[in-house]
């Protein structure tokens, strides 16, 4: 977090802001500095327009693939919230994704529930519950948990769930649960294709906007502080552990939503969905695209899945190696991901909240 002057400058990017002490004079240079076109809305708009037009130009089997990417992008956003914004390394995000997938698959198999009005809330609820339990256990407590403990704890949770699903006959063992019926709304079946695509895209857009609001709110500011310097946030009087548990639960909810969509889209669930494979996959998406920007998570997912789909015919064996090399290069030389090629640091950090309650005069 910057000093007081920077905070004023950020706030005054908004024309409607009225600051108290001599605001016009103080913010005039800042405003001119902040003027000029913004990259982020342009990138977001371009991505949205492309996504909206995509099914019109794609063949059917590619639309099915694009739907999968959209759902995975939703999953990537859930991880980005937790890691990119709050600095909690959740190496087991797939636990929530897969648990919701398995949960709704069981609902469909054993109880015959396929209504979208029940399935999506159920998936989100499973994700939320799992995240509350695991996050509450790992993050809360008398002593703050170390970053290492949280990351290894989530990783272990995901791995253990994977092993459990593999060995449990009720969950289908190695094969998972096959042939899930399609999602329905009343008497209409929502099967894969353009309809499912727009459904997933609609959910993605809504979740994206909600998250965008969330990370730009005062809560988001506290999260950013948490990521940069947890101790200082604690000294400011925030309950750092509670903030972490809340964002972890929100991330779990979104991952659960994505998992239930994914299960019905693919028509089956299998143990990898819970385990280390998906958990690390989502880390790759977000790091590659750019953690700490929501659109970076989406772009990373699209690029990695897109290239992997494109290469899968000829270079299936080499692709994971290339992916590893690219990831290593990004971590070493572009820690903010691909999005940082077009997005400036200032815009990535952005501004928070509505009008300031009072001019920040806390010492830097």
Could you list the residues that contact other proteins (CB under 8 A)? 89, 91, 137-138, 141, 143, 145-149, 151-153, 155-157, 159-160, 163-164, 166-168, 276, 280, 283, 287, 317-318, 320-321, 323-325, 327-328, 331-332, 335
At closest approach, how far in Å is the CB of 86 from other proteins?
A: 13
Place of tokens 């819970």: 274
- What does the DSSP assignment read for 171-202? GTGGG-B--PPPEEETTEEE-TTHHHHHHHHH
146 or 175: whose CB is closer to other proteins? 146
Beta bridge partners of 170: none
At closest approach, how far in Å is the CB of 272 from other proteins?
A: 12
65 or 319: whose CB is closer to other proteins? 319
7 or 282: whose CB is closer to other proteins? 282
At closest approach, how far in Å is the CB of 1 from other proteins?
A: 19
121 or 167: whose CB is closer to other proteins? 167
118 or 322: whose CB is closer to other proteins? 322
At closest approach, how far in Å is the CB of 164 from other proteins?
A: 5
CA distance 81 to 149: 19
At closest approach, how far in Å is the CB of 285 from other proteins?
A: 13
Q: Where are the alpha helices (DSSP H) in 168-293?
A: 194-215, 218-228, 230-235, 240-266, 276-289
89 or 130: whose CB is closer to other proteins? 89
SS3 12: coil
Alpha carbon separation from 175 to 93, 105, 277 (Å, rounded): 21, 13, 16
| Closest by CA position to 269, among listed 258, 281, 279, 259 | 259
Alpha carbon separation from 64 to 58, 265, 302 (Å, rounded): 10, 9, 14
CA distance 50 to 72: 17
At closest approach, how far in Å is the CB of 328 from other proteins?
A: 4
At closest approach, how far in Å is the CB of 220 from other proteins?
A: 21
| Closest by CA position to 1, among listed 245, 350, 294, 328 | 350
**What would you report as the CA-atom Rg of the chain, rounded to the nearest whole angstrom?**
21
171 or 199: whose CB is closer to other proteins? 171
């Amino acid at each position: 977090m910057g000093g007081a002057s920077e905070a004023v400058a950020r706030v005054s990017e908004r024309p409607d802001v009225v600051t108290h002490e001599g605001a016009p004079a103080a913010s005039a240079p800042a405003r001119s500095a902040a003027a000029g076109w913004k990259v982020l809305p342009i990138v977001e708009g371009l991505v949205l327009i492309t996504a909206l037009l995509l099914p019109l130009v794609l063949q059917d089997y590619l639309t099915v693939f694009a739907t999968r990417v959209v759902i995975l992008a939703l999953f990537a956003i859930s991880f980005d919230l937790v890691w990119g914004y709050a600095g909690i390394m959740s190496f087991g995000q797939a636990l929530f994704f897969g648990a919701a997938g398995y949960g709704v698959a069981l609902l469909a198999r054993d109880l015959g529930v396929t209504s979208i009005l029940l399935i999506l809330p159920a998936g989100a609820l499973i994700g939320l519950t799992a995240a509350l339990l695991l996050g509450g256990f790992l993050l809360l407590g008398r002593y703050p948990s170390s970053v290492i403990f949280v990351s290894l704890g989530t990783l272990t949770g995901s791995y253990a769930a994977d092993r459990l699903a593999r060995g449990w006959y009720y969950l289908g063992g190695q094969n998972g649960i096959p042939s899930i019926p399609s999602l329905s709304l009343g008497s209409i079946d929502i099967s894969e294709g353009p309809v499912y695509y727009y459904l997933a895209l609609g959910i993605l857009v809504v979740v994206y906007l909600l998250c965008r609001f969330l990370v730009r709110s005062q809560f988001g500011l506290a999260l950013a502080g948490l990521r940069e310097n947890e101790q200082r946030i604690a000294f400011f009087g925030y309950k750092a552990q509670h903030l972490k548990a809340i964002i972890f639960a929100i991330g779990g909810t979104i991952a659960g939503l994505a998992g239930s969509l994914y299960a019905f889209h693919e028509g089956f669930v299998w143990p990898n969905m819970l385990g280390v494979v998906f958990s690390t996959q989502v880390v790759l998406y977000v790091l590659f695209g750019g953690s700490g920007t929501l659109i970076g998570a989406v772009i990373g997912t699209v690029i990695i899945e897109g290239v992997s789909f494109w290469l899968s015919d000829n270079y299936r064996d080499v692709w994971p190696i290339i992916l590893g090399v690219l990831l290593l290069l990004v971590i070493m030389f572009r820690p903010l991901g691909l999005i940082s090629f077009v997005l400036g640091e200032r815009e990535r950090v952005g501004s928070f909240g509505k009008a300031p309650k009072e001019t920040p005069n806390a010492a830097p």
